[in-house]
Structure 1
């Protein structure tokens, strides 16, 4: 019979099931045993249909943030990795959360609504920050937890054995979540572990960047780097989605899953190229290039004045009195950080 997370709070492993996305990160400690080899906890194409919105915060000091890539793509005290999707449309379609490694289900919770914690109608969480979730014991003191799953989507029960890749539920936005994602926490005993760099401390790993000592600091007792079967590339920010619209869209429209019409009327009120990015930092550039059948129509460069977890920028033109000439119109959106290009995406629509 399925056990809900709150029903096993007195068990030794219950700490696993009470975590929240904002729980404090702990200082690195020696690992108890060889860790499990982890696959991705989501059935999606990382970098295309899903992305990592936040990493593990490795800096234990309050107010200080550092991820394993020596960047700041984490909230203060963030004790896991957030695998996100761009829109609620994807949530409705269903993006499967899977077991990252073989093990035994030790707890589940379902029945919490999918609603942003920023929504005034969001329910009182009463300590249930994880929302709908699953926890799995992998043996030798290792466990994983999967939070913020979609209401009604949990398909495993307490005591069930699972293999790597076994479906657990679907990505949602339950509990303390403000965007659709699954929050993966890895634990070794009572210690939260960064699956990208399980042994290294924040100052050491970044101070030694590019050295043999850095590589050694990232190795597990088994000698491999990190806990991943295939380590995901470190991505410090970039573009999530781009599109054409007849006006500057609201961010709520984009998050809902705003689509670009393949064919557009010559008399549409305007043609606007929009770009939606994540992990913007002060000084980042968002450039939008707007082209038509006769060449470039215009371009716009915006420099971010402050850090923003999500960035929406748009540029376009009102429709001329005679209407838009027939042909293919193309938008290009580029996200840059200094000399580094974090993302470049294209979108087209045909006017006829």
Structure 2
């Protein structure tokens, strides 16, 4: 098996891309800005790019970012979750200083996607809270804005819903922090560039604990009676497992993997023994998103009744960097 290509996402930069380091006592403490749970209903896809040149560098010296990326991307697991509605929340109390609505929720990869010139941030809310600090919330769902310019908001107040508007191809919130119109990395605000030990983040302790850094994530996993693609996962249009079908497929979608990572996937039968195994070639580059799936033919006598388990490991530099298991009963 070989992972399908995944187009790089070029995300918004609503204002300038100069970075600022901050140690001021007036710096905010930011609450988590979405009504979701990291690890269960959302995940961080990208961080601020801290490399001043053409390279990619996040605050932990990884590469989970995009060129000149000026914020934090918190993504939903699929489009079904987006259509159901997930609130974007005020991270601090402040005043609404800018809004935009009317940009349709459509992937930039869609054949009929409209021009986003001048609207790369999509539908937007900006919150000011004094002394030059601005929070920007981008890619909001069309028609979901709950505030207008001049409104005062409190921490945790819903502002809008997560959308797919502007320059994006997956449902997420692009959350950026600026001070005096310069980008600030909320995970490492004290210095301009580089990575490693960066001092205290701008997040509250509760928010920081939710967003512990991960060097790779299993975003989706399951079983099907047919091979799956990205569109099927996004829309949860996965074939239900039919015991009479000719194959059983274990599938997963991963994000934030690194060059050289090796993905191994297996299906274990009810007795706990592997009935099928597969390994992808080492990744040739850092990857935003990687699909993995493994099919096994139905035996002539049919599937033994019981619990079947999908087992996935990401091996990095000779050790297991990521492991995930999921089950189905036949």
Normalising by structure 2, report the TM-score.
0.89
Q: 1:280 and 2:257 equivalent? A: yes
Q: C-alpha displacement at 1:170, in angstroms?
A: 1.0
Q: State whether residues 58 and 67 of structure 1, in contact with CA within 8 Å, keep that contact through their aligned partners in structure 2.
A: yes
Q: C-alpha displacement at 1:160, in angstroms?
A: 1.1
Following superposition of structure 1 onto structure 2, how do residues 228-247 of structure 1 map, counting pairs within 5 Å? 228-230=203-205, 231=208, 232-247=211-226
1:55-99: CA deviation from partner (whole Å, max 9, x where unpaired): 0011121x2111100111111100000001120011011111101
Aligned partners of 2:170 and 2:121: how far apart in 1? 13
Query: 1:24 and 1:64, CA in 2 relative to 1: closer, same or farther beyond 3 A?
Result: farther
- Which of the two has greater helix per residue? 1
Return the match for 2:303 from 321, 324, 347.
Answer: 324
SS in 1 for 2:129: strand
Q: State whether residues 238 and 335 of structure 1, in contact with CA within 8 Å, keep that contact through their aligned partners in structure 2.
A: no
Return the match for 2:202 from 227, 232, 240.
Answer: 227
Q: Which has the higher contact order (CA 8 A, sep 6+)?
A: 2
SS in 2 for 1:252: helix
Query: 1:320 and 1:30, CA in 2 relative to 1: closer, same or farther beyond 3 A?
Result: closer
Query: 1:243 and 1:143, CA in 2 relative to 1: closer, same or farther beyond 3 A?
Result: same
Aligned partners of 2:257 and 2:14: how far apart in 1? 20
What stretches of structure 1 of length at least 5 have no aligned partner? Answer: 1-18, 207-213, 220-224
Across the two proteins, how many residue pairs are aligned to each other? 314
Q: C-alpha displacement at 1:342, in angstroms?
A: 4.2
1:252-276: CA deviation from partner (whole Å, max 9, x where unpaired): 1112235585xx4321221010110
Q: State whether residues 225 and 242 of structure 2, in contact with CA within 8 Å, keep that contact through their aligned partners in structure 1.
A: no
Aligned partners of 1:340 and 1:93: how far apart in 2? 39
Q: C-alpha displacement at 1:174, in angstroms?
A: 0.3
**Matched residue, 2:8:** none
**Matched residue, 2:83:** 92
What stretches of structure 2 of length at least 5 have no aligned partner? Answer: 1-10
SS in 1 for 2:203: coil
Return the match for 2:275 from 289, 297, 311.
Answer: 297
SS in 1 for 2:170: coil
Q: C-alpha displacement at 1:109, in angstroms?
A: 1.2
SS in 2 for 1:71: coil
Q: C-alpha displacement at 1:339, in angstroms?
A: 4.9
Q: C-alpha displacement at 1:29, in angstroms?
A: 4.4
Q: C-alpha displacement at 1:238, in angstroms?
A: 1.7
